Amino acid sequence: MNIRWTGLAIAGCLAIAAPAGAQESGAKEIELPNVIAWSAYDTGSAGHAHSIAIGNMMRNRYGTTVRVLPGRNDVSRMTPLKNGTVEYCLCGIASYFAGEGVFLFAAPEWGPQPIRVVLQAVGDYGLGVAAAADAGIESVGDLKGKRVGRAASSPAVDVSMEALLAFAGLTWEDVDAVEYSGYVNTLTGILENSVDAAFALTTTTVNYQIESSPRGLKWLEMPQDDAEAWDRLTNIAPYITPHMVSVGPGIDPASPIPMAQYPYPILVTGTGQDPAEVRNIVAALDEGFDDYKDAAPGADAYGLDRQILNWVMPWSEGSIAYFKEKGLWTPEAQENQDKLVDRQRVLLEAWKGFIEGAPDGEEEFATAWMKARAEALEAAGHEVYFR
């Protein structure tokens, strides 16, 4: 695969109150509803902090209340969007899995969801392989035969690590996989000398502990000019993009490391959301960028110049309208958009034809759906990725 990357008010909710008449010059062409509701990561997360920063900007510039419904996991964040409790979700890569109808979403109550991207956060952090500096691992290929942490219960982490191994032509069979109950535990395993390496976001707190421990921390480079390696990676995890990483322990901001990334968080909505409203939200986030970009760590990642236009999720027509106004939308981006919209159409039609006669058992259901899904995508000329 060749991808070109271009650069509500209920208990537990955060309610950002809107004072009257709080519009600044330039806001006339940006008409926003009085209240915007979205789900997001839980209190203490980067996504929640971003929501507060953006909400304050929306209140001060446009008199708009942003109501944030925190969710502890992927399902609790996506469910309010699905059932209409909120109009938007400031989510993670699970929003892509929901659009594809895979992993947790290969279930009777879910299936492929008609999701559109509103705006991405593409920061200076990255993802890749965190290795113990004392393990003698200099490259991804050196992981062969080494102890590698595996978060088998976390599809986003497990598939991402599988893709990173594929970068060097390796699979889980080539390493000594050590299973853990979750993502952070795989990294703790490096501290405890139970594993030698694991998948990591560079900004995860445990990485700082690894760096200062007797084992030390080494990030494994993934050269951006190795086209074959990147093809192997994106054939497994097409949502991962090359990225020069400058934030994280052991990384000199003046000397970024070639690694990888995917947008986080991702502001998404459903296909039924008014494109004019979406356009105005994107315009507000752009116009008010200087007001919130330094108000929370990583909030500068929403800049228009950071958006990956040719990605794996279709954009909202409202976002596209604003990108066109700014001269950012390209023929290549439109071609990619058309393919993604058709892909989603194929998935939704496949689900509609599958669900009525689907088997009852949870495992049997998922297996049958994944088979039907793959057949429909292949017949329509689309890549399958997940089987």
H/E run at residue 349: helix 331-355
Q: How far is Cα 208 from Cα 189, in angstroms, rounded to an integer?
A: 14
Sheet holding 14-16, edge to edge: 14-16, 65-71, 35-41, 88-91, 266-270, 115-120
Distance CA 262, CA 256 (A): 17
- CATH number for region 127-261: 3.40.190.10
* Each residue's pLDDT tens digit, 256-270: 999 999 998 999 999
Domains 14-122+263-339 and 127-261 share a fold: yes
Distance in angstroms (rounded) separating the CA atoms of residues 112 and 313? 12
pLDDT tens track, the chain, 387 positions:
444 343 333 334 444 433 333 344 343 489 999 999 999 888 877 888 899 999 999 999 999 999 999 887 788 889 999 999 999 999 989 999 999 999 999 999 999 999 999 999 999 999 999 999 999 999 999 999 999 999 877 888 899 999 999 999 999 999 999 999 888 899 999 999 999 999 998 988 899 999 999 999 999 999 999 999 999 999 999 999 999 999 999 999 999 999 999 998 999 999 999 999 999 999 999 999 999 999 988 899 999 999 999 999 999 999 999 999 999 999 999 999 999 999 999 999 999 999 999 999 999 999 999 999 999 999 999 999 998
Pick the CATH number of 14-122+263-339 from 3.40.190.10, 1.10.287.40, 3.40.50.261, 3.20.20.70: 3.40.190.10
pTM for this entry: 0.86
What are 298-345's pLDDT values in tens digits?
899 999 999 999 999 999 999 999 999 999 999 999 999 999 999 999
**Separation in Å, CA 357 to CA 262, 320, 354:** 36, 38, 6
Find how far residue 189's CA is from the centre of its chain: 25
Residue 23 amino acid letter: Q
Distance, in Å, from the CA atom of 61 to the CA atom of 283, rounded to the nearest integer, reads 12
Domain ranges of the chain: 14-122+263-339, 127-261
Closest C-alpha to 268, from 82, 134, 111, 129? 82
Mean pLDDT of the chain: 91
